[in-house]
Amino acid sequence: MKNNKKNINRAFFPYLILALVIIGTLFLFNFSTARVNDFSYDELISELSDGNVEEITITTKSGAGIYDITGKLKNYKDDESFAVKVPLSESVIKKILVYADNQGFKVTTKTNPENSSVVNIIVNLLPIVILAIICFVFFSKVAGGNNKSMDFGKSKARLSDGGKKVKFKDVAGLKEEKEEVTELIDFLKNPKKFQSLGARIPKGVLLVGPPGTGKTLLARAVAGEANVPFYFISGSDFVELFVGVGASRVRDMFKQAKQNAPCLIFIDEIDAVGRQRGSGIGGGHDEREQTLNQLLTEMDGFGENTGIIIIAATNRPDVLDPALLRPGRFDRQVTVSLPDSNERKQILEVHARNKKLGKDINLKNIATRTPGFSGADLENLLNEAALLAVRRNKTEINMSEVDEATDRVLLGPAKTSRKITDKEKKLVSIHEAGHAVVGLKLKDANEVHKITIIPRGMAGGYTMMLPKEEKIAISTKEELLASITGLLAGRVSEELFLHQITTGASDDFKKATSIVRSMVTEYGMSDLGPLQLETPNESVFLGRDYGKTKNFSDKVAHEIDEEERKIINQCYEKCKTILQKNKDLVMLISEALMKYETITKEQIEAIVKNKNIDCIADMIESTENEESDK
């Protein structure tokens, strides 16, 4: 509210100053503090006869045919005078001069300066010029120094300033994606090679993928390699309050691009303007739809855009208008997916160039431990590690900083200052030990890499479980059931060994229920058979649940619920069996967590092998000594 009041005051202040200046100017030119008495000719002669006149000034106004006579009487104050206008006549002047000789008062004669054309122009125009200048200055301040109202419909696309250019060598991984866009560069450099064979280069390339995977970076690399003008704009820069402004900006953008062809136009987050037309309750969005229509026409309409290639990026291709994706517009879609282990290693090498890494840092191991991390996540990981090293007054980044940074990126900073009771500590340790034991003993479960009971973010503790080997996004039924069993292990462990249940398993249940629902309604992994009963077709404006297509009756809906409960119960019972058979291991891991709070994969393996926690004391002590030496 304070900022709004300040803005209002700033906007009102120039108007106030302008009003005061105008009033002052009018007062200056139209009012005078001096008192002037208007006399008739007879009154003047009467005063002359009585000898009351002290001085007289006679001004000739030849153009007007009159004398302008002013003067002062003997009894007048300093700021008081009289004025008389009489016709041009020598007899009048002679009579006044006679009185002056007899009475001895002073008579001054002069010519009126208004008779000069130059003076007339200055006197008449000077106030107008002054007011015009004042109005221009103050109104330009009110409108804002950088505001260009005449450029309201101009494109906001900015031309790359030609600074430090990004090359393909600066983009780690994305091997196949680079190959897809390499021919765009060849076309921009040598279009005749393609035209000789009748080949038509794609007019548009749509980069699709999760956030942070390097879509914008890849587009910058294309521009850097091609060495051509590179215009970049966000999809939200087209959409304005007034209908038609976005379409005007699209026209202006293509006009500029044609003048600099061959060139590249990069539209980031194109889903802001390219959403499907006519969607949602109550109709569409007029401004966005008109902008999209103009974009469609410019890309492939009656006009030709030779030498202009459009690259766009989005992580929501499902909401784009079909007309935008047809051949002739965005001819090619390039999926920029999350990096695999080798690509993550390459990305880490790029971001580690300007960082001092310790000898214990192995980027390959870090890449293996970070499945599902995007390029942006990996950059953030190393940056957080560097910040931690600075905070600890170190001269290099060690593995302890990388471990801590990984946890910070995944769950947030550790709440080391929070006081935890022994009862709560025991609950969390039993809960996490249950997850870990199921992960260790179940064949298709993920591998346990780390367990901690230190609170982070919304979690009281967590067990880091990673795939045994990296693979494409396909999971077997056994793997999904193992995931559900592992998620239920925390609650089962509480029930078996503490004889009570807590709220700590709520997020586990949420994930488990989501997997079960997909198994039954999407993957066909239940007794209902190989049927896809729900299609995740999310609407643009409606909620996610409303946007799902349900191809089943109420009876089948009941059967779906029964199947979900059946799978959950089977996994719950299986989890009970595993934990009951391995009660001693659960207690050992819980005891280790109570004592050390965090244990790693190597320490867990030592506990399993030696069946006691004393064996990890030396491992933890040696690690702490290494840290203190560094």
Active-site annotation, residues = 432
Question: What angle do the packed helices 477-497 and 506-521 form, to 10 degrees?
Answer: 150
Which amino acid would we find at residue 500? Q
Q: Are strands 66-73 and 53-61 parallel, antiparallel or unpaired?
A: antiparallel
Q: Residue 121: how many CA atoms within 13 Å on its side-chain side? A: 3
**Amino acid letter for position 310:** I
DSSP code for 95:
H
Q: Which residues pair with 234 in a beta bridge?
A: 268
What are the residue ranges of helices labelled H in 68-167? 90-103, 117-143
190 vs 194: CA distance, rounded Å: 8
* Angle of the 477-497 helix axis to the 583-596 helix axis, nearest 10: 70
Beta bridge partners of 83: 38, 70
Backbone phi, psi, residue 545, to 5°: -65, -35
- Scan for tokens 């001096």, then name that residue: 34
Structure tokens, 236: 């939200």
**Buried-exposed string 615-624: b where 16+ CB fall within 10 A, e elsewhere:** ebeeebeeee
Instruction: Tell me the C-alpha distance between 78 and 80, whole Å.
Output: 6
Q: How far apart are CA 295 and CA 249, in angstroms?
A: 10
CA 208 to chain centre: 19
